[in-house]
Amino acid sequence: MEDVPSYRSQPALIPMVDFELANPYTPPPTRLQTLRLEDNSGIYASNFHVACQEKGLTPHFTFREPAQGAFIITLSIDGQKLDELGPYASKKDAKEAICKLCVAKLGAYDNRKKRKSVSPETDALAMVPATLNEENWTSTLLEYCQGNKIPQATYTESCTHPSRGPHFCTVRFPGSPITPFGSSTLGFKNKKDAKKAASMDAVLWLRGQGKLDEIGNDQSMSLDGAADPANPLPTFHDAMNVNSCGIAPQGSIGKQVQDLCLALGFTQPEFEIEPLAGAFCNLHARFLPRDVAREPRLAGPIAPVTNVFGKKVAKEECWRELLKILEAIRKSRMHDG
């Protein structure tokens, strides 16, 4: 028969009262009551950082977590404590709340943002002439060269800094003086204006020499200044006759558009670009008012392309849309004729 151990062999039992005295009840720590922010979209933090940047201030945020899921935030400006808030249920709530509260306190700080020193390049920037955008000077010079069957004008572009400028441009063409038009010392904020200015100098010189008529008279002038009946630029009435166009689909898409514009009696369009995030952009073409007066289909922003990656690709797409429009004008003139 198996032996059964007696109660004396069991561990010693103690009364419940003695156990409770030896092991008193300790309640769990009280959970911190955290705050929530109804609007934590980040707009207050964004506005706060912008305000700091405008004053040249450097904010610093530090967080303490006295209990799990409870955050206390301290805001300092340039090492000086500005305020402390919390606890909040998240770091984002805490930061948004303190930015909302403290943005008004930034008014007490002086503007510490350093003024940008005027660089030597700034002194080299030219005042944009009032007449720079009155005509498409580059197109007029192009038409002059094409009408007189001479090589196209040669532009020489340079810049001090690719993005900041200043940009310089000079231009030469057969029959022009030894000194090129434009300037290699007086620059513009962008290369487009620099090229326009060089073209404008050349066109005004040609007109002063009697080699090119004022805008509105499409008759080309010969190199010696006399009208050349053998090689006239197409007038509006000539352009209405599609037999004078003689456009064959050859060359690049841009070259086809340029040739068709010239044949139809229009100046070359200018391109206006709107940069977007990244390398994306919107782009459209625009003709001069005198072209629109002749052909209403050229009014306003024309051949727009939107949200295209890369300026080069955007311009190619705009060229294609322009070619369709110009071809439609050419065909309608054929039908009317």
Answer with the one of 198, 233, 268 that is the final residue of a domain.
Answer: 233
Going by pLDDT thresholds of 50, 70 and 90, the confidence category of residue 10 is low
Whether residue 337 sits in one domain with residue 275: yes
Whether residue 91 sits in one domain with residue 65: yes
Number of domains within the chain: 3
Whether residue 241 sits in one domain with residue 337: yes
Whether residue 177 sits in one domain with residue 194: yes
Residue 145 bridge partners (DSSP): none
The answer, as to whether pTM is greater than 0.95, is: no
256 belongs to a structural domain = yes
238 belongs to a structural domain = yes
Answer yes or no: are the C-beta atoms of 195 and 157 closer than 8 Å: yes
Whether residue 216 sits in one domain with residue 297: no
Q: How far is CA 329 from the centre of its chain?
A: 32
CA torsion through residues 325, 327, 328, 334, sign: positive
Task: State how far the Cα of 285 lies from the Cα of 321, in Å rounded to an integer.
Answer: 10
Whether residue 174 sits in one domain with residue 98: no
Whether residue 200 sits in one domain with residue 210: yes
Answer with the one of 233, 248, 274 that is the final residue of a domain.
Answer: 233
- Per-residue pLDDT at 221: 43
User: Among the listed ranges 234-238, 262-266, 274-278, 323-327, which one has the minimum average pLDDT value?
Assistant: 234-238
118 belongs to a structural domain = no
232 CB-contact burial (10 Å; exposed 0-12 / middle 13-18 / buried 19+) = middle
CATH of the domain at 228: 3.30.160.20
212 belongs to a structural domain = yes
- Per-residue pLDDT at 173: 92
Answer yes or no: are the C-beta atoms of 169 and 138 closer than 8 Å: no
Answer with the one of 56, 82, 108 that is the final residue of a domain.
Answer: 108
Please give the residue that has the higher pLDDT: either 181 or 117. 181
271 belongs to a structural domain = yes
Whether residue 138 sits in one domain with residue 198: yes
Whether residue 275 sits in one domain with residue 200: no
76 belongs to a structural domain = yes
Whether residue 156 sits in one domain with residue 88: no
Q: What is the pLDDT of residues 174-215, one digit of tens each?
A: 988 888 888 877 788 888 888 988 898 888 888 877 887 755
**Whose CA is closest to 265, among 236, 297, 230, 299?**
236
Q: Which residue has the tokens 């500005």?
A: 82
Please give the residue that has the higher pLDDT: either 122 or 304. 304
Taking all residues of the chain, what is their mean pLDDT, rounded to a whole number?
A: 78
Whether residue 267 sits in one domain with residue 238: yes
> What average pLDDT does range 261-267 have in this prediction?
82
The residue segments making up the domain with residue 145 are 124-233
29 belongs to a structural domain = no
33 belongs to a structural domain = no
Whether residue 323 sits in one domain with residue 290: yes
Please give the residue that has the higher pLDDT: either 26 or 222. 26
Burial readout 116-143 (b: 16 or more C-beta within 10 A, e: otherwise): eeeeeeeebebeeeeeeeebbbbbbbbb
Q: What is the pLDDT of residues 44-67, one digit of tens each?
A: 888 888 888 888 888 899 999 888
